Homo-oligomer: A and B are copies of this chain.
Amino acid sequence: MQTLKVELGERSYPIYIGEGLLDQPELLAPHIAGRQVAIVSNETVAPLYMERLSKTLGAYKVLPVVLPDGEAYKNWETLQLVFDALLTARHDRRTTVVALGGGVIGDMAGFAAACYQRGVDFIQVPTTLLSQVDSSVGGKTGINHPLGKNMVGAFYQPNAVLIDTASLKTLPPRELSAGLAEVIKYGLICDKPFLTWLEANVDALRNLDQVALTEAIQRSCQAKAAVVGADERETGVRATLNLGHTFGHAIETHMGYGVWLHGEAVAAGTVMALEMSMRLGWISQDERDRGIRLFQRAGLPVVPPQEMTASQFMQHMSVDKKVLDGRLRLVLLRHMGEAVVTDDYPQEILQATLAADYRAIVAPL
Contact = CB atoms under 8 A, between A and B. Distances in A.
Interface stretch (A146-154, A184-192, A306-314, A341-349): A146-154
Interface in A108-155: 114-119, 140-142, 145, 147-148, 150-155
Interface of A: prevailing SS = mixed
Contact of A154 (B93, B118, B142, B145): B118
Contacts of A324: 34, 92-94
A83 interface: yes
Given A90-B318, A318-B90, A151 B116 contact: yes
A323 interface: yes
Contact of A325 (B92, B114, B150): B92
Interface residues of A, number: 38
Given A115-B154, A142-B118, A80 B90 contact: no
Interface string A20-38: 0000000000000011100
Contact of A94 (B80, B115, B153, B325): B325
Contacts of A84: 147
Contacts of A92: 321, 323-325
**Max chain B Cβ within 10 angstroms of own Cβ: one of A88, A152, A325:** A152
A143 to B, nearest CB: 9
